Amino acid sequence: MEDLVESILDYIRADYTDYAIMINGEWGSGKTYFWNNKVRNKIESLSLNGKKYTTIYMSLYGISNLEDISKKIFIETTQLMDKNLKKYMDSHQESRIPEYAKTGLNMANSFGLSQNSDKMDYASFFATDDKILCFDDLERANVDVIDILGYINNFVEHDHIKTIIICNEKELSAKLKSTNLEMKTFIATYILDKEGSLLNSDKPMVEKISDKIEYVFDKANDYERIKEKLIGETFEYVPKFNYIIDGLLMRYYKNEELMKFLREHTSLITSTFVKSGTRNLRILKHALNDFSKVYEVVNKYYPNTKLRVLQTMLIFTIAVSFEIKAGKITKDKFVTIESNEEYKSILVSSRVLMDNRQFYIKEFDNNYYFNFKSDYRFFKFIEIYVRTRIFDMKAFKKDMECIINTIDTEKLPGYKRLLTEEYWKISDEKFPEIIEEVIGNIKDGSLKLIEIVKLFAYFSYFSKRHLIDYKISDLKEMFLKSMDKAAKNSEYCDNVEEELSRIGLDVGEEMDEIVSYFNELNSKLKDDMYRKQAEKIFKCIPMKMETFYDKFAECMDKPILNHYDAYQMFQRITCASNEDIVLIKEMLVNRFKKYRDELVLEAPFIKKLQKVLEDYCKGKDTSIKIVMLKEFANDLNEIIEMYTEEELQDSLADDDLMLSIDEL
C-alpha cells in the first residue's frame, strides 16, 4: 500500500505532466477511505520549491450535467480562498471542511452573507500549479462518461493540473454496454432485418443482436481512445485487508471488551471476508456493526456464553451479510430455516444421502465453516436481524436457550443425533448404542410421525452399507407398525413437502410405501385437528361470542365445518342473540365467497344446516328471531348454489368417506 502511495506522490512531484492518473478498484474496497486517510494528507504535506499543494475532491455520484461539476469546482475553490475561513480552520486544526458545512457556506454566499471582507486573491484563484483535482465515483455519474473525461481533459491537457480519477472500471464497462439498451436493441434489430439476416439460423438471435449492438454502438472503444489520451497510469487498488480491518476496528475503541474480542479474532474476520469472494469493505463494515449489537445483547442476557459460540456468531454474521448484501442470493434463501437443528438436518441429508436439492446450504457451510468445527452454526435471530434490520428478542432467546440445551451433542437423544449430525462423527463404540436406542423409540411410538419417516431414510442407507444388521424388508415392517403408534401421539404436519425436502428420498422404492402411509395417517391427523378445532370454536356459542369470532376468524379458509354436527350447530345458533345470528351468518357467507374452492368439503354440512333451519321455521309464529333464522337459511341456500351438482356429489362422497373413517 505504501508503494502505491509513493507512486501517486511521484506523479505529484513531477515538474510537468499532461496526463491524469486513475485509481481502479471494486465498489466498497475502500478507495475513498484510502484517498482521505493515506493519499490526501501526504499530498498536502508535500513542500516542493516552497510550494504547498491544495487538494480539491469531488464525488461525481449523481452528477447529471457538466455544469454541476463546474459549480462544484468553483464552490470548493472559492471556499479555500476565504481567508477568514482558513484562519478559523488553522486555529482549530481542521484539515478539511465537512460536507454539511460546505452546504451552509454555499447558501450563505448565495445570500450575500459571506464573512470574508477581503477582496478575492485572483493570483491564488488563477494559480493551477498548486491544485490537485480528485474526481471520485466516475462510474456513478448520470452523465456520459466520454463527456466527463473530455471535460476533465481540459484541465489536464491545457492547464496541466495534476488530476486523479477514482473509479471501478468493471462497473464502468458494464454501464457503457447497458446505457439506452432498449433503444440500441431496437435499432440493431431494425438493421439486421433490413440486412435480411435477422431470421437466419446461423447463430442465436440474441447473440446476433448483441453483436450488432457492439458493432454499431461501441462506446467501449470511444472510452479506450479517450482514456489512452487522458490517463497516463492506472493503479489497481487492492488493499491489504489486515490494515483496512484494523482501521475498521478502531471505531469500537469505546467498547474495550468488544474491541479486545474483535482484535483477537482478526484472522477469523479476514478469512471469512476472503471466503465471501468479494472485496466490498462497506458490507464488512456493516456486518461488524451488526455483530457489535449481537455481542452486546448476548453478553447482557447470557454472559457465560462459550467462546466457540461467539466465534461462530461472528463468522455467521459476516457470512450472511455478504451472501445477502452482495446479491449472491435472494433474501428469502434462509427464511424457511427456523433453527440450527433444521440447518443441520439439511446438511446431513445433502452429505449423507447425496440430496442435492439443498445444494446452496451445503456450499454455504463448506465455504464459511471449512476447517472450523462448531455444533451450532445457524442463528435465526442473526439471520432475521441482517435480513430485516429487526432484532427479534423472541428468536434470540429461543436460539440461546437451544444453544444451552444442545451444545453438548452427547446429551442429545439418539434420534436427534442421527437427524442433525453426520453419522461419521459418532464413534464406532457409540453408534450401535444409538441405533438400538432409536429402534426402541420407534417401536414404542414415542417419536413424531414425520421423524419416523425421516429416520427410515437413514436406516435404509445404513442397511445398504451394512452398518446395521437389519434387512430393508424387516425395517419397513417395523417402521410401518410403529407409525400407527406414533400417529396416536403426533400432530398434523402442515409443511410435509418442506420437511421431506430436508432428507434424501432417493433411497429406493421402499420409501414410497412409507411416505404413502405417512400421507394417509397425516390426513387423518388433519381431520382430527379440524374436528377438535371445530368443537373448541363452536362451543363458544352463545356464551363466549367474542372468543368465537376471534377463533373462527383464524381458520376462515380451513374446512372445519365438515367435522362438526349440523344439528348441534343449529341448537347453538338458535340460542344466540338476534344480533349474533346475523353476524354468524355474515361470517359464513363471506368466507365462502372468499374461499369457495377451499371450502367445497363443507357443502354437505351447509346443506344439512340449511335444511334443519328451514324445517325449524316452518309453522312458527313470526318473530324477529324466526325472521333472522329464515334469512340465515336463505343465505345458506345461496352458498349451496355456488357449487355445481358435480362438486356437491364429490363433496358428499368425501363426507361419506369421512363418516366411515370416523366409525373405524
pLDDT tens digits, residue range 585-623?
999 999 999 998 888 888 889 999 999 999 999 988 999
Q: Choose among 50, 70, 52, 69: nearest CA to 12.
A: 52
Helix 603-617 with 645-663: angle, nearest 10 deg: 100
More confident residue, 422 or 319: 319
Mean pLDDT of 98-119: 50
In whole angstroms, what separates CA 259 from the centre of its chain? Answer: 28
The pLDDT, as a whole number, for residue 204 is 75
Q: Choose among 262, 502, 189: nearest CA to 361.
A: 502
**Span 195-225, pLDDT tens digits:** 777 777 677 777 777 776 666 555 556 677 7
Identify the band that residue 315 occupies on the pLDDT scale cut at 50, 70 and 90: very high
For residue 356, give the 3-state DSSP assignment: helix
More confident residue, 101 or 343: 343
With helix as H, strand as E and coil as C, how does 647-659 read? HHHHHHHHHHHHH
Stretch among 48-57, 212-221, 304-313, 449-458 having the lowest mean pLDDT: 212-221
The pLDDT, as a whole number, for residue 312 is 94
* 88-95 contacts at long range (C-beta below 8 A, 24 or more positions apart): 95/41, 95/44
Q: Would the pLDDT of 111 be above 60?
A: no
Q: Which residues pair with 165 in a beta bridge?
A: 22, 135
Q: How far apart are CA 168 and CA 61, in angstroms?
A: 12
In whole angstroms, what separates CA 220 from the centre of its chain? Answer: 34
Amino acid (one-letter) located at 436: E
**Are the beta carbons of 246 and 15 closer than 8 angstroms?**
no
Q: Choose among 587, 596, 598: nearest CA to 640.
A: 596
What's the angle, vertex CA 352, arms to CA 475 and CA 322, rounded to 5? 145
The pLDDT, as a whole number, for residue 110 is 52
Q: How far apart are CA 25 and CA 236, in angstroms?
A: 6
Cα pseudo-dihedral 267, 270, 274, 280, rounded to 10: 180
Identify the band that residue 63 occupies on the pLDDT scale cut at 50, 70 and 90: confident
In whole angstroms, what separates CA 169 from the centre of its chain? Answer: 28
Determine how β-strand 51-52 pairs with β-strand 47-48. Answer: antiparallel
Helix 169-178 with 219-230: angle, nearest 10 deg: 140
Side-chain-facing half-sphere of 558: CA atoms under 13 Å: 19
| Most confident of the following: 107-121, 337-351, 404-418 | 337-351
Mean pLDDT of 338-355: 77
Q: How far apart are CA 385 and CA 396, in angstroms?
A: 10
With helix as H, strand as E and coil as C, how does 504-553 read? CCCCCCHHHHHHHHHHHHHHHHHHHHHHHHHHHHHCCCCCCHHHHHHHHH
Q: Would the pLDDT of 123 be above 50?
A: no
**Span 65-76, pLDDT tens digits:** 888 788 777 766
The pLDDT, as a whole number, for residue 521 is 92
Give the number of other CB atoms < 10 A from CB of residue 301. 12
Side-chain-facing half-sphere of 38: CA atoms under 13 Å: 20
Average pLDDT of the chain to the nearest whole number: 81
More confident residue, 145 or 420: 145
Strands in 162-167's sheet, in edge-to-edge order, are 54-59, 131-136, 162-167, 20-24, 231-236
The pLDDT, as a whole number, for residue 280 is 80
The pLDDT, as a whole number, for residue 2 is 79
* 220-226 contacts at long range (C-beta below 8 A, 24 or more positions apart): 220/173, 220/176, 220/177, 222/146, 223/145, 223/146, 223/149, 223/172, 223/176, 226/146, 226/149, 226/150, 226/153
Q: Would the pLDDT of 579 be above 60?
A: yes
Going from the C-alpha of 498 to that of each of 493, 509, 525, the distances in angstroms are 10, 20, 18
For residue 1, give the 3-state DSSP assignment: coil
Domain boundaries, the chain: 2-176, 178-219, 241-407, 425-526, 539-663
**Span 432-441, pLDDT tens digits:** 999 999 999 9
Q: Would the pLDDT of 659 be above 50?
A: no
Stretch among 205-209, 263-267, 395-399 having the lowest mean pLDDT: 205-209
Stretch among 570-584, 623-637, 646-660 having the lowest mean pLDDT: 646-660
Give the number of other CB atoms < 10 A from CB of residue 133. 21
Q: Would the pLDDT of 505 be above 80?
A: no
**Span 506-517, pLDDT tens digits:** 556 778 888 889
Residues 6+ apart with CB under 8 A from 594: 556, 557
For residue 488, what is the DSSP state?
Answer: H
Identify the band that residue 178 occupies on the pLDDT scale cut at 50, 70 and 90: low
Instruction: Check residue 112 and give left, alpha or beta (phi > 0: left; psi -120 to 50: alpha).
Output: left
Identify the band that residue 45 occupies on the pLDDT scale cut at 50, 70 and 90: confident
**Span 135-170, pLDDT tens digits:** 998 888 888 888 888 888 888 887 788 999 999 887
Q: Would the pLDDT of 241 be above 70?
A: no
* Cell 496526463 found at: 19
Stretch among 71-85, 260-274, 327-341, 442-456 having the lowest mean pLDDT: 71-85
The pLDDT, as a whole number, for residue 200 is 72
The pLDDT, as a whole number, for residue 88 is 57
The pLDDT, as a whole number, for residue 663 is 38
Identify the band that residue 296 occupies on the pLDDT scale cut at 50, 70 and 90: very high
Whole-model pTM: value is 0.50
Q: Domain 2-176, CATH 2.60.40 — does that match?
A: no
Report how many helices (DSSP H) and strands (DSSP E) the chain contains, helices first. Answer: 33, 7
The pLDDT, as a whole number, for residue 121 is 47
Mean pLDDT of 234-241: 78
Find the helix or strand (DSSP H, E) in which 627 lies: helix 624-640
Residue 501 φ/ψ, nearest 5 degrees: -70, -15
Q: How far apart are CA 240 and CA 270, in angstroms?
A: 10
Amino acid (one-letter) located at 218: D
Q: Would the pLDDT of 504 be above 70?
A: no
Q: Would the pLDDT of 265 be above 70?
A: yes
Q: How far apart are CA 632 and CA 617, in angstroms?
A: 11
Residue 511 φ/ψ, nearest 5 degrees: -70, -30
